[in-house]
Amino acid sequence: MELIAALEYISPRTDVLITSARIDDNVLLHCRVPRVKGMIWKTTLINDHLKLAIAEIRQNRTFFSKEVLTSQLTMGSDPLAFYKILTKSELVIVKFIAEGHTDIEVSALIKCSPQTVKAHRLHIQRKVGVTSTAQLVSWAMRVGLKRSFGCCTR
């Protein structure tokens, strides 16, 4: 999302095609940015889809693969999709917590008191239906706000 925002600033007329190996709520949410004109899932059909997507976007149309469209419909109909239940501020806090930051560290990053962060964290946990920070981190990974640990993480 940061890359798309930077591209919008540097080159506002550039269209964006997202290719992703995963389709989760967070990736699908990126498709809603105006500059994004298409998204394809990295499958065995990527070469065919990539050619079609580029051709469609060059014709000033959009291209979203069948898997992406199906997933978007599912996410859009979910009343508990994370982007519907959490504010932008809450999403920032969840991302920091999922990265392993403590309430005190998060408070320094977002410039508020540790008690405020704790209150927000507890409110977020209630909203998403978990009872501990560990469960919140697991939830963040499940919806795509935090990548799982392993060889492919940054």
Q: pLDDT for 20-79, tens place per residue?
A: 887 777 777 777 777 889 988 887 688 889 999 999 999 999 998 888 888 878 776 766
pLDDT of residue 9: 76
Q: Is the pLDDT reported for residue 90 higher than 60? A: yes
Higher pLDDT, 111 or 26: 111
Q: pLDDT for 2-31, tens place per residue?
A: 677 777 778 878 888 988 887 777 777 777
Supply the pTM of this predicted model. Answer: 0.57
Q: Which amino acid is at 80?
A: L
Q: Is the pLDDT reported for residue 80 higher than 70? A: no
pLDDT of residue 35: 81
Q: What is the three-class DSSP state of 73?
A: helix
Query: Residues 25, 81: contact at Cβ < 8 Å?
Result: yes
Strand 16-20 and strand 36-41: pairing? parallel
- Residue 126, CA distances (Å) to 19, 76, 93 in order: 33, 22, 14
Which domains does the chain show, CATH number per domain? Answer: 2-77 (3.40.50.2300), 82-143 (1.10.10.10)
Query: Residues 50, 40: contact at Cβ < 8 Å?
Result: yes
Q: Give start and end residues of each alpha helix (H) in the chain.
A: 2-10, 25-30, 46-58, 66-77, 82-85, 88-98, 103-110, 114-128, 133-143
